[in-house]
Amino acid sequence: MKVTTFGEVMMRLSTPNFSRFPQATQFDINFGGGEANVSSSLAILGISANHVTRFPDNDLGLTATNIFKKFGVGTEHIIYGGDRIGIYFVEKGAAMRPSKVVYDRVNSSFATLQSADFNWEEILKDTTWFHFTGITPAISEAAFQACLEAAQTANRMGITVSADVGYRSNLWKWGKRPNEIMPQLIENCDIIVCSKGDAADMFGIIPNDEKGSFKSVCKQITARFPKVKKILNTKRGQISASHNTLLGRCWDGTQMLETEAINIPDIVDRIGGGDAFMAGYIYGELIYKDCRKALEFGVAASALKHTIEGDFNLVSVQEVEAVVKGDVSGRLKR
């Protein structure tokens, strides 16, 4: 049982505490990426996981690789080349002040990869589940191409394929619009994460019932992409930068499962919360083989991620299960 993910990893440089950019004299260093956060979180939960990406062949690429090794993520299919590691700068918000991200990922080693760099049959050997996100095809044509080949190869090899189709408006600069591209990728997917907004941006699908329901969107998606069996979505209640709520939904083709909303006060770091949900959901599907349990595990894992600095979800299965069982008391563990 092995999960393989493919996507860009960025160095994340965040100002300490609540410093704004012009105040900071230091950056805290982390690494993350929408797909890598999934494989790292799975590795930390004890699932064999492998991340495929491209790093520059310099000290920063080496350092990034080390971090994945540290948390047990397989790094043997990482390739090296290109000019630079993508960077994103983070300033943490509080109360009514939002956290802020400044991207500096143009021309990264990942963006300048060539699809021929990857032998997917070789890479996906022994893989049970392949995961990517809508960020990857948005980065460059070659990244899209590599992603498509990966998904198609995974399909041929009988591997479960999932995608978080989240639309990022500040990417997609290489010439194609998401709706020209994403459908080809989604055709190969078994499970997707997709919001109402994403469906509109990516597939031009909008609700067609009176209530404008998400369910009506899901039905259209499964009609258009018959391979897609489940559509996941999280609904974030945004009370403040420091206080959110979160619930998860899953359209399984027949019904819309929905968890209770979990309260997330005193947020430590919100970034990577969606990826932690995905990792938790995959864990649940692989171990419990039950969609509702997977959904609950995903939401609980995501809630815990909000209490941890950095993109990776450093939690154990027992910790997530305690939250699933409703223990959110945070009672001291001696």
Min CB(25)–a copy of itself separation in Å: 5
List Cα–Cα distances, 202 to 137, 154, 294, in angstroms: 12, 22, 26
d(CA 286, CA 191): 13
The set of residues, in sequence order, having a beta carbon less than 8 Å from that of 254 and lying 6+ positions away, is: none
The contact pattern for a copy of itself, residues 260-299, with x = CB under 8 A and - = no contact, is --x-xxxxx-xx----------------------------
Contact 194, 221 (CB under 8 A): yes
Among 141, 149, 309, 321, binds a copy of itself (CB under 8 A): 309
Neighbours of 196 (CB within 10 A): 17
Binders of a copy of itself in range 142-181 (CB under 8 A): 168, 170
Of 142-150, 214-222, 227-235, 302-310, the segment contacting a copy of itself by CB under 8 A is: 302-310
| CB closer to a copy of itself out of 233 and 313 | 313
d(CA 175, CA 278): 29
Structure-token pair, residue 183 = 């459908």
Q: CA 319, 316, 32: angle at the middle one, nearest 5?
A: 120
| CB closer to a copy of itself out of 42 and 154 | 42
Structure-token pair, residue 230 = 């489940």
Contact 257, 298 (CB under 8 A): no
The contact pattern for a copy of itself, residues 211-240, with x = CB under 8 A and - = no contact, is ---------------------------xxx
Min CB(103)–a copy of itself separation in Å: 7
Among 40, 41, 162, 242, binds a copy of itself (CB under 8 A): 242
48-52 and 100-104 as β-strands: parallel, antiparallel, unpaired?
unpaired
| CB closer to a copy of itself out of 188 and 313 | 313
Binders of a copy of itself in range 5-64 (CB under 8 A): 13, 16-29, 58-60, 62-63
Residue 243, SS3?
strand
Of 253, 256, 247, 251, nearest in space to 296 by CA: 247
The set of residues, in sequence order, having a beta carbon less than 8 Å from that of 58 and lying 6+ positions away, is: none
Q: Which residues pair with 157 in a beta bridge?
A: none
Binders of a copy of itself in range 70-99 (CB under 8 A): 70-72, 83-85, 87, 89, 91, 93-99
Of 179-187, 219-227, 280-288, 323-331, the segment contacting a copy of itself by CB under 8 A is: 323-331
| Residue 319 contacts a copy of itself per CB under 8 A | yes
Min CB(41)–a copy of itself separation in Å: 13
Among 33, 277, 310, 311, binds a copy of itself (CB under 8 A): 310
| Residue 209 contacts a copy of itself per CB under 8 A | no
